[in-house]
Amino acid sequence: QLQLVESGGGSVQAGGSLRLSCAASGYTYSSNCMGWFRQAPGKEREAVAIIHSGGGAADYADSVKGRFTISQDNAKTTVYLQMNSLKPEDTAMYYCAADLTDGPSWRCHLNRHVEVWGQGTLVTVSS
């Protein structure tokens, strides 16, 4: 069973940077979709970025394009979210998630149904 554990959250001032990590363990996939989602207080959860573990193709929410970058390590066991130029509206609980199906990269879009979630890591951006 795939398990995901996030780390790297914290507090930062607007304009600063953070890098989130998502460590995968258990059964890992060679070409599934892995992504980052966030949920701010009083708001619905939204997809932030998603990547195809087999080829690195990625998709981003418009609100983070040009500021956030999703990537993975060579072993495909850790997915990162580099967050630059952070804004107060980026404040949220960030969750790593993945689907449980190997397949082509076109499947990895922001609306992809994911089946496994991490416990979340909190990001707070102050103005």
Per-residue confidence (pLDDT) for residue 99, from 0 to 100 = 93
Q: What is the pLDDT of residue 48?
A: 98
Q: Whole-angstrom Cα distance, residue 72 to residue 81?
A: 9
Q: How does pLDDT run across 74-102, given as a tens digit for each residue?
A: 888 899 999 999 999 999 999 999 999 99
pLDDT surpassing 90 at residue 30: no
For 39, residues 6+ apart whose C-beta sits below 8 A from its C-beta are 45, 46, 92, 93, 95
- 89: helix, strand or coil: helix
Average pLDDT over the chain reads 94
Give the side-chain half-sphere CA count within 13 A for 117: 12
Q: Give the DSSP letter string of 9-26.
A: -EEEETT--EEEEEEEES
Q: Kindly state the average pLDDT of the residues 103-115.
A: 91
Q: Pairing mode, if any, of strands 78-83 and 116-117?
A: unpaired
In degrees, rounded to 5, the angle at the alpha carbon of residue 27 between the alpha carbons of residues 22 and 28 is 50
Residues in the chain: 127
Q: For residues 85 and 76, what is the distance between their CA atoms, to the nearest angstrom?
A: 26
